[in-house]
Amino acid sequence: MTSAHRELLDAVRGVRSAIGNRNLQEDEALKKVVARGIYIGAFNFLEGYIQARWSEACSVLNSLSPLCLDKFDTGVQENMIRSQISHLPKKLSPDKVGRTGGPVFAEVCERLHLLLDSISGKRHFTVSSDLFRPLGSNVQADELISTFKLIGINAKDAFGKLARQLFAGVDLGGRTARPLDAFDELSRMRHQAAHDPSFDGQTVLFSKVEHNILLYALCFDIIISSFVTENLAVGSSSASCFRFRENSFCNWRAVCLDGDLSCVHVYDFVPGYFSFDERFSSFVNESCITFEDVKSSELLPLSSRALLKNDDINSDLLVGIFRDSAFQKFIASLCPRELHHGDEMNYFSVFYDPSYGIIDWTLNGDLAF
């Protein structure tokens, strides 16, 4: 689990605790106040994740990718420079130059210098960590789409294809299966909570907040991780553009909590049969693990064993267990991915709760750069 991923899950755990607070449910005045904080914080957490995860990707690409910007098409080079310049503050105020938490002016300039040197062939530098930073006070949806386009990704196509793959044939009970819509809803609620005096958080379903954060973050991570994997695998430094294919989406695993909380279903998808509604196809490997088998296994992590001793197993308890990386590895050890076609090593896993909400996800093989 990367640092960005861990921090996001910690934030989501905090959001869930705030929403479930008994005092919040009983005190209407308190609910109105806390609702504002929840919606503002939720969007801020997602913004932070986007920037942190992209920064992790940049560290790997700039260290290991053979791509050289001096070989790229002139149009790509110009757009990269324009993008970096746009992140320079308009005025050199103390807020922009050195305040903790924001990009320091000298650092943005340094990355501009690295890009110029890379284009002229003086040194190796592929991408700037500033690409996904907001140009204003908050990240905007159109800015994200433009940034994806800058690195050769059609965001609407990529997010749309991935969402259809992960939720085909599933009733989410009013929650959206479209990541871009999830982002828009979080953004809209954030701005209403921050600027609309008449905002009433009671009119909004809190249950959507956690889902929207995790839906967009999951898809962003898979797309960026696939992008990094593709551009690390480039065999030559003479490529004239970034590479991105959606083939990495096809190899994946769904780990689903059964509706009655009695077992875990594991489905292994492969190219040709990778949509969630095909999970019952004979071409998709299915395993079922009962919680009796889980509790009796000698491989069960001690942290999970202590929690599962309690006979009162509920959804919230299991969600917490499923977010434990030790338990995720335990499930993988019980159900090794063995396929006759498809990729056994390079795949991602998505963990679902009984209502098909996202609990967590992991990256395996080259995707876990």
Q: What is the DSSP string of 3-63?
A: HHHHHHHHHHHHHHHHHT-HHHHH-HHHHHHHHHHHHHHHHHHHHHHHHHHHHHHHHHHHH
Nearest to 8 by CA among 315, 255, 216: 216
Nearest to 52 by CA among 119, 1, 96: 1
- Which of the four pLDDT bands, split at 50, 70 and 90, describes residue 107? confident
Are 165 and 180 within 8 A, CB to CB? no
Give tens-digit pLDDT for 73-85.
899 999 999 999 9
- Which of the four pLDDT bands, split at 50, 70 and 90, describes residue 100? very low
- Which of the four pLDDT bands, split at 50, 70 and 90, describes residue 117? very high
Nearest to 346 by CA among 320, 360, 319, 367: 367
- Going 275 to 279 to 284 to 288, the CA torsion angle's sign is positive
Instruction: Retrieve residue 34's tokens.
Output: 């806390």
Q: Which residues contact 97 (CB under 8 A, 6 or more apart)?
A: 89, 104, 105, 106
* Cα distance between residue 290 and residue 156, in whole Å: 39
pLDDT of residue 103: 54
- Going 48 to 83 to 115 to 236, the CA torsion angle's sign is positive
How much of the chain, in percent, has pLDDT values that exceed 70? Answer: 92
Are 311 and 262 within 8 A, CB to CB? no
pLDDT of residue 206: 65
Q: 3-state DSSP call for residue 280?
A: coil
What is the SS3 assignment for 182-244? HHHHHHHHHHHHHHCCCCCHHHCCCHHHHHHHHHHHHHHHHHHHHHHHHHHCCCCCCCCCCCC
Displacement of CA 364 from its chain's centroid (Å) = 15
For the beta carbon of residue 219, count every other beta carbon within 10 angstroms. 27
pLDDT of residue 66: 87
Nearest to 84 by CA among 113, 117, 121, 49: 113
Give tens-digit pLDDT for 306-324.
888 766 778 888 999 999 9
